[in-house]
Amino acid sequence: FHTSFISLASFLSIYIFLSEFQNNSHKMAAYWPEPIVSVQALSQTGVTTVPSRYVKPFHQRPVLNSSQPDAEIEIPVLDMSNVWGKPEGLRLVRSACEEWGFFQMVNHGVDHALMDKVRAAWREFFELPLDEKRKYANSPDTYEGYGSRLGVVKGAKLDWSDYFFLNYLPSSIRNPSKWPSQPPKIRELIEEYGEEVRKLCERLVETLSESLGLEPNRLMKAFGGEDKVGASLRTNYYPKCPQPHLTLGLSSHSDPGGITILFPDEKVAGLQVRRGDGWVTVKSVPNALVVNMGDQIQILSNGIYKSVEHQVIVNPGMERVSLAFFYNPRCDIPIGPVQELLTESRPALYKPIRFDEYRLLIRQKGPSGKNQVDALLSSR
Ligand code: OGA
Ligand code: NI
């Protein structure tokens, strides 16, 4: 009995060690820790209760009634034709970024018909049979493809959504053969949409730079130059949910990269932005695009602009599709606070880190509020 107890104990400790190692090691595990379940397929079975792996702890569950005090508050809406190249526009951008880290853009220059077409194409993709979508099943080493979870922590509570993630920039890592081949026009639409949003991001980075009192090209220089920046597209699919008060479509997080251009669903609200202790549900203006600051902007601006936490709620009646375009600094150079923004009373708040290293940590842990960027605060 004695020896078998010892070998059982040592077997267990080795097992625990190995699984901890998998969770914490900085090398990416190539596989998911548990079999992947498509949430869309689960929702389509007509389940009437949310399985426990999607049930969030009490403190993370959303408050769904609209009688909250913040319900009438809206994130700023900026008419970009009054922003580009206008001093008053820079002040609007600055106050939106300082106060919210988020704003909606109208007259942003991206063609509305193209926006409608690319979203319709993604809807069609998600409506394909599961076997067709599974051909693109992703793994946690690159995340590229069709997936249903973020992070590789075994036993983690999961979000009520599926997604398709693809790399767009730099063009050297763009590989349309990994993108959906159906519906027929989807690849061209993704490229056309990507080009327009890329141009919008270039203009925004310049405007953000000026709004911080920097030379127009200063932030882009810190990003590593327009030819070297990274960009990716994640199309999120939030299926109908029988018990939306128990779960989230996407858990609270800040975006790890530079800026995010979100094309929300025209009909279904879901995005919530942190405001103090509560959440504000974004009411999207038709044809608007939402922009939000990611952790790299917080780092580069030395905390003048903050990446703001957000999450997505789901509902029992309608599925929701959103397109998130992530525009990121070059991934292989250190990103730290811009020198010109440092003063004696406000020295560098963050230790420089390369974006590829930063992203790796996020990709292992999955969404976890603002823990990641807070961990970079240099101890002073
Ligand atoms: C994201 C995100 C919000 C949404 O993909 O990072 O925050 O409305 N999406 O889908
Ligand atoms: Ni996000």
* CATH number for the domain harbouring residue 127: 2.60.120.330
3-class DSSP assignment, residue 85: coil
Per-residue pLDDT of the chain (380 residues; tens, 9 = 90+): 454 544 444 444 433 333 333 444 444 557 899 999 999 999 999 999 999 999 999 999 998 866 555 556 899 999 999 999 999 999 999 999 999 999 999 999 999 999 999 999 999 999 999 999 999 999 998 999 999 999 989 999 999 999 999 999 999 999 999 999 999 999 999 999 999 999 999 999 999 999 999 999 999 999 999 999 999 999 999 999 999 999 999 999 999 999 999 999 989 999 999 998 899 999 999 999 999 999 999 999 999 999 999 999 999 999 999 999 999 999 999 999 999 999 999 999 999 999 999 998 888 888 888 888 888 876 54
Q: How many domains does the chain have?
A: 1
Distance CA 321, CA 121 (A): 11
CB 298 within 8 A of CB 212: no
CB 322 within 8 A of CB 263: yes
Task: Establish if 2 belongs to a structural domain.
Answer: no
Q: Going by CA atoms, what residue is nearest to atom 6 of ligand 1? A: 255
Q: Angle at Cα 94 formed by Cα 92 and Cα 99, nearest 5°?
A: 95
CB 169 within 8 A of CB 231: yes
Task: Establish if 276 belongs to a structural domain.
Answer: yes
Distance CA 138, CA 118 (A): 21
Ligand 2 centroid, distance to 257 Cα (angstroms): 10
Task: Establish if 274 belongs to a structural domain.
Answer: yes
pTM of the model as a whole: 0.91
Domain span at residue 68 reads 51-375
To test the ligand 1 pocket, which listed residue (233, 260, 292, 320) has its Cβ within 8 A of the most ligand atoms? Answer: 260
Ligand 1 centroid, distance to 87 Cα (angstroms): 30
- What ligand has the least distance to the C-alpha of 262? 1
Q: Going by CA atoms, what residue is nearest to atom 1 of ligand 1? A: 324
Task: Establish if 15 belongs to a structural domain.
Answer: no
Task: Establish if 151 belongs to a structural domain.
Answer: yes
Question: Could you tell me which of 246, 203, 32, 235 has the C-alpha nearest to residue 105?
Answer: 203
Q: Going by CA atoms, what residue is nearest to atom 3 of ligand 1? A: 271
Task: Establish if 28 belongs to a structural domain.
Answer: no
3-class DSSP assignment, residue 313: coil
3-class DSSP assignment, residue 328: strand
Q: Scanning the structure block, which residue is given the tokens 């103090």?
A: 276
* Ligand 1 atom nearest 161 alpha carbon: 10
Distance CA 248, CA 270 (A): 10
Q: Going by CA atoms, what residue is nearest to atom 2 of ligand 1? A: 324
Q: Going by CA atoms, what residue is nearest to atom 10 of ligand 1? A: 322
> CB under 6 Å to ligand 1: residues?
234, 236, 250, 255, 262, 264, 270-271, 310, 312, 322, 324
| CA 16 from centre of chain | 31
- How many H-runs (helices) and E-runs (strands) does the chain carry? 10, 14
Ligand 1 centroid, distance to 34 Cα (angstroms): 24
Task: Establish if 8 belongs to a structural domain.
Answer: no
* Ligand 1 atom nearest 238 alpha carbon: 10
pLDDT score at 365: 84
Residues 6+ apart with CB under 8 A from 283: 74, 269
Q: Which amino acid is at 186?
A: I
Task: Establish if 29 belongs to a structural domain.
Answer: no
Distance CA 337, CA 316 (A): 44
